């Protein structure tokens, strides 16, 4: 899957003949799984129609600060557009647009949006040979790169003037390849292998009944998707759950019981850099599993239980250089119990959940956690979506490798 999958891309189109290539460029972005919005300068509409790019991007195309044909004159908010984007690409970037970007001359929506962008900005120049080599244009290139913008160099070939040389906008396929390579090189967990557990385990009583819990698995799946988005190779060991990995780079191994999860985790643990135990593993299981469905006969019925193997403690016991993260779901003495688990299970970090906190716990879209590290540094967090909590946890992983 392309690293562009799921990315929100803002494409700025300025007025050069190479604008006709943006139809193919938008199509390739969509094929890669990206979400695309397009901003056009007024001059660019002489080379490619807004209808074409709107149809291909599946979004309205913006080209002015407000829609003049609208009776209500709705403002196209350049700040909102800029903040929406994960990355901005200006292609083609003509000498006129490059100059305005350099000097801050925001007389059109494209440049105004560029000046508000907080995301990485790429630009793909397109102009004739002599223009491309003119000192003023070279000065624009250098200035924009000094601002932190990333240049996608023009290619050599036949130009609109009939000359042949450097100045052709990079072909759409090459722009995609450039973006993918650049983004991949900056992924903070590239080359790291992460083992994550998710969901409940089901401990069989008989062929149709089991002991389980209310864990949905969402937290573990959000962690797996975020880790893959950051470049990690992810092995997700998941108990019974309806969730599916959004990122196709996540390898999902489905298990049922605590023993299944124990065996699978030990199969992979020695080869990973990080393990995050987010699953809600059963602490006990029936000592004897009936081979046939138990009939409802007696007024009372008891099941003898035995302890399951402690997956997290067993991983902590054989840990070498792995960064090991556990979860603790507590209802009382939360901090004290979490600290004991850090020591007992040889953890680097524990993520504490309290069922006392509104919005936290099983089958919720949100979570409220407290981080406690092996030095007992306590960091309480606010109530957030589980996707945001996953980002916070993975930031701890990134920080660990940055320091080491």
**Residue where a domain terminates, one of 169, 185, 201:** 185
Residue 75 has pLDDT above 80, yes or no: no
Report which of residues 104 and 73 the model is more confident about: 104
Residues 333 and 241 in one domain: yes
Q: Which pLDDT tens digit goes with each residue over 19-34? A: 999 999 999 999 999 9
Torsion sign, CA atoms 142, 95, 45, 169 = negative
Domain contains 297:
no
Q: Give the pLDDT score at 329.
A: 80
What mean pLDDT is reported for the chain? 92
Residue 246 has pLDDT above 90, yes or no: no
**Residue where a domain terminates, one of 167, 185, 203:** 185
Confidence of residue 103 (pLDDT cuts 50, 70, 90): very high
Residues 104 and 203 in one domain: no
Q: Which pLDDT tens digit goes with each residue over 325-361? A: 999 887 678 889 999 999 999 999 999 986 666 665 5
Residue 102 has pLDDT above 90, yes or no: yes
Residues 257 and 338 in one domain: yes
Q: Give the pLDDT score at 68.
A: 63
Q: Which pLDDT tens digit goes with each residue over 54-69? A: 999 999 999 987 766 6
**Residue where a domain terminates, one of 133, 150, 185:** 185
Question: Would you give the DSSP letter of residue 64?
Answer: S
- Tally of domains within the chain: 2
Domain contains 389:
yes
Q: Which pLDDT tens digit goes with each residue over 171-201? A: 999 999 999 999 999 999 999 999 999 999 9
Q: Give the pLDDT score at 359.
A: 61
Straight-line distance from the first to the last Cα atom of the chain, in angstroms, rounded to the nearest whole number: 30
Confidence of residue 1 (pLDDT cuts 50, 70, 90): confident
Q: Which pLDDT tens digit goes with each residue over 139-157? A: 999 999 999 999 999 998 8
Listing DSSP states for 81-136 in one string gives HHHH-SEEEEEEE-HHHHHHHHHT---SHHHHHHHH--S-EEEEE---HHHHTSHH
Residues 172 and 248 in one domain: no
Residue 70 has pLDDT above 80, yes or no: no
Q: Give the pLDDT score at 89.
A: 98
Q: What percent of the chain has pLDDT over 70?
A: 95
Count Cβ neighbours within 10 Å for each residue of 14-36 and write b for 16 or more, e otherwise: bbbbbbebbbebbebbbebebbb
CATH number for position 278: 3.40.50.10300
Residues 162 and 217 in one domain: no
Residues 219 and 116 in one domain: no
Who contacts 194 (Cβ-Cβ below 8 Å, separation ≥6)?
Answer: 227, 232, 233, 234, 235, 272, 273, 274, 275, 276, 397
Q: What percent of the chain has pLDDT over 90?
A: 79
Active site residue 213: yes
Residues 175 and 202 in one domain: no
Q: Give the pLDDT score at 69.
A: 61
Residue 5 has pLDDT above 90, yes or no: no
Confidence of residue 164 (pLDDT cuts 50, 70, 90): confident
Residues 169 and 197 in one domain: no
Catalytic position from the list 213, 247, 337, 346: 213
Cis ω before 214 (30° cut-off from 0): no
Residues 206 and 328 in one domain: yes
- Polymer length of the chain: 404
Predicted TM-score (pTM) of the model is 0.79
Tell me the residue range of the domain where 110 lies: 8-185
Question: Would you give the DSSP letter of residue 146?
Answer: H
Domain contains 21:
yes
Tokens of 125: 């120049």
Mean pLDDT (whole number) for 239-259: 94
Residues 216 and 254 in one domain: yes
Domain contains 178:
yes
73-77, 275-279, 283-287: range with lowest mean pLDDT:
73-77
Q: Which pLDDT tens digit goes with each residue over 351-362? A: 998 666 666 556
CATH number for position 170: 3.40.50.1950
Residues 123 and 255 in one domain: no
Pairing label, strands 193-198, 274-277: parallel
Question: Would you give the DSSP letter of residue 295?
Answer: P
Residues 169 and 213 in one domain: no
Domain contains 2:
no
Residue 238 has pLDDT above 80, yes or no: yes
CB atoms within 10 A of CB 185: 10
């Amino acid at each position: 899957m392309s690293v562009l999958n799921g990315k929100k891309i803002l494409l700025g189109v300025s007025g050069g003949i190479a604008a006709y290539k943006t139809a193919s460029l938008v199509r390739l972005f969509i094929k890669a799984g990206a979400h695309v919005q397009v901003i056009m300068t007024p001059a660019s509409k002489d080379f490619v129609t807004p209808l074409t790019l709107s149809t291909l991007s599946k979004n309205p195309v913006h080209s002015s600060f407000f829609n003049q044909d609208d009776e209500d004159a709705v403002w196209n908010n350049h700040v909102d557009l800029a903040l929406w984007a994960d990355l901005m690409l200006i292609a083609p970037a003509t000498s006129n647009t490059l100059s305005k970007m350099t000097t801050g001359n925001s007389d059109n929506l494209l440049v105004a949006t560029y000046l508000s962008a907080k995301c990485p900005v790429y630009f793909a120049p397109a102009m004739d040979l002599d223009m491309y080599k003119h000192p003023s244009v070279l000065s624009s290139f250098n200035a924009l790169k000094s601002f932190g913008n990333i240049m996608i160099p023009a290619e050599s070939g036949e130009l609109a003037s009939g000359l042949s040389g450097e100045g052709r906008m990079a072909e759409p396929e090459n722009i995609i390849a450039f973006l993918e390579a650049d983004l991949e090189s900056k992924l903070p967990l590239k080359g790291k292998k992460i083992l994550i557990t998710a969901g409940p385990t089901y401990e069989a009583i008989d062929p149709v009944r089991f002991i389980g819990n209310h864990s949905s698995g969402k937290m573990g799946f959000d962690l797996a998707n975020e880790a893959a988005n950051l470049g990690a190779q992810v092995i997700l060991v998941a108990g019974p759950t309806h969730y599916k990995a959004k990122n196709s780079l996540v390898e999902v191994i489905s298990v049922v019981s605590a023993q299944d999860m124990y065996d699978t985790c030990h199969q992979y643990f020695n080869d990973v850099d990080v393990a995050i135990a987010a699953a809600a593993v059963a602490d006990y299981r029936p000592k004897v599993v009936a081979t046939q469905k138990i009939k409802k006969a007696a007024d009372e019925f008891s099941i003898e239980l035995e302890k399951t193997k402690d997956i997290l403690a067993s991983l902590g016991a054989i840990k070498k250089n792995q960064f090991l993260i556990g979860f603790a779901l507590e209802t009382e003495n939360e901090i004290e119990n979490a600290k004991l688990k850090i020591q007992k299970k040889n953890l680097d970090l524990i993520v504490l959940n309290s069922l006392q906190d509104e919005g936290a716990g099983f089958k919720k879209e949100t979570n409220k956690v407290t981080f406690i590290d092996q030095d007992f540094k306590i960091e309480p967090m606010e109530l957030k979506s589980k996707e945001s909590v996953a980002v916070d946890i993975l930031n701890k992983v990134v920080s660990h490798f940055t320091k080491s």
